[in-house]
Amino acid sequence: MRIAHVIEATAGGSARIAAELCRNQIKAGYDVTLVYSDVRADRFFLDAIGDIANLTKINIPMYRSLGLHDAKTLFHFWKFFRNTPKFDIIHSHSSKAGALTRLLKPFFPASKQVYSPHAFYTMAPKVSPLYGWVETALSYGCDAIITVSAFEKQHGIKILHINSKKLHVVPNGVELNWDYNRETARTLLDAKPDEYLIGFVGRLTLQKNYMRLLEVFNNLQSRFPHLRLVMLGDGELKAEIEKYIELKLLKEKVRIISGMDARTVMAGFDCLLCSSDYEGFPVIFLESLAAGVPIVTTPVGGSEEAVIPQKTGRVATDFSVQALSQAMQELLEQDSIDKQLMKLNCKDHARNFSIEIMTEATVAVYKSLLILS
């Protein structure tokens, strides 16, 4: 089977998933090509794909914003696919690559098109209806859409009115054999033995709703003086967040660390706190479980799959600061025995989300399309 993966957003969870699919599909004996853009590529992604033996890599510049440059990108896509032996599967990831690739469907009808939104953009609050109309129209340009959670699939059916037969749920997967060492992680984070570290991991963007995150922490830190917040990530709102931290006099209790692979320090957290407005199924949830770190989150996509209430974490009843603060407080008030049991539950639950399981399920979707053709 010849497979082409196409991705523009070469940072964050979607990039990690695309890279791991390439790696594991090659291990399974498939011929795999990756079409990517180096415009927003971070070093973690470039290092990851650089380590994949026998992966054909094609760099075609893509831009997140809409503009005339998209016509140039589309032409380069068309030229590449026209001059390359037919791919059985063209699998695009995230909205920009997904839109550009699906527009080419009429020119390459022999290739089956698969699209992974990694969280439909229309899941964001107050998004323009135009995005929904575009997503619905583009759904006709692919043969299957892979959603990463039941929540995302239901959004596709109920909000975008996509044919349910076209939607397939394949949860994300992570490497379970990573060396999650708590002592090493705590040393790297310069954490004191009595500190309770709340971890946040993600791009510092509006989607992650840092204001909700910091207000929850501010609500709790006066009652739980041993709390500390570590924010791992970078993004356009970093300077704004730093100003807010200074304004609220939280500099001694909140740290922002950029350019670090979260897996190296994940085990040093006592919990992971997600304040996002929307998600498909964050990879960081699975890395948190694998490290034995419970999750407290807003009710986003992936929370139903990753969080078993009282066993692997807490899901807030709604998106309010009060609800998320309450969920976090319930975790803090658990006794030490329950906290230790929760760590074990997290590691046990993580086994349901391996990279191997994700890869096999993805390939099963491919094969179902090829059988029908």
Full-model pTM: 0.90
Give the DSSP letter string of 116-175: E-SS-GGGSTT--HHHHHHHHHHGGG-SEEEESSHHHHHHHHHTS---GGGEEE----B-
Q: What is the largest CA-CA distance in the chain?
A: 64
The number of angstroms, rounded, from the C-alpha of 109 to the middle of its chain's C-alpha atoms is 30
Cβ atoms of 151 and 304 within 8 Å: the answer is: yes
Please state, in angstroms and as integers, the Cα–Cα distance from residue 277 to each residue in 155, 172, 244, 298, following that order: 14, 19, 19, 8
Beta-carbon contacts of 314 under 8 Å, excluding residues fewer than 6 positions away, are 294, 295, 296, 297, 307, 327, 328, 330, 331
Render pLDDT for 289-335 as a digit per residue (tens, 0 to 9).
Answer: 999 999 999 999 999 999 999 899 999 999 999 999 999 999 999 98
d(CA 13, CA 201): 11
Rounded Cα distance, 214 and 102, in Å = 39
Residue 250: how many other CB atoms lie within 10 Å: 16
- List domains and CATH numbers for the chain: 2-173+354-372 (3.40.50.2000), 182-352 (3.40.50.2000)
Cβ atoms of 269 and 289 closer than 8 Å: no
Quick one: angle between helices 321-332 and 210-221, nearest 10?
Answer: 50
Q: What are the residue ranges in the chain where pLDDT is below 70?
A: 373
169 CB-contact burial (10 Å; exposed 0-12 / middle 13-18 / buried 19+)? middle
Q: In terms of C-beta distances under 8 Å and separation of at least 24 residues, what long-range contacts does 188-197 make, across chains too?
A: 188/264, 188/265, 188/268, 189/230, 189/265, 189/268, 191/228, 191/268, 194/226, 195/226, 195/227, 195/228, 196/224, 196/226, 196/227, 196/228, 196/270, 196/332, 197/228, 197/229, 197/230, 197/268, 197/269, 197/270
The pLDDT of residue 373 is 64
Confidence at residue 103, expressed as pLDDT on a 0 to 100 scale: 94
Question: What is the per-residue pLDDT for 41?
Answer: 75
Instruction: Give the C-alpha distances (Å, rounded to integers) separating 348 from 17, 124, 218, 288, 310.
Output: 21, 31, 32, 12, 14
pLDDT of residue 248: 81
Concatenate the DSSP letters of all residues of 259-294 into one string: S--GGGTGGG-SEEEE--S--S--HHHHHHHHTT--
How far is it, in rounded angstroms, from Cα 152 to Cα 94?
13
Determine the distance from the C-alpha atom of residue 212 to the mean position of all C-alpha atoms in its chain, rounded to a whole number. 19
Report which DSSP code applies to 207: G
Positive or negative, the Cα torsion across 261, 115, 176, 346? Answer: positive
Report which of 262, 246, 145 is spatially closest to residue 202, judged by C-alpha positions. 262
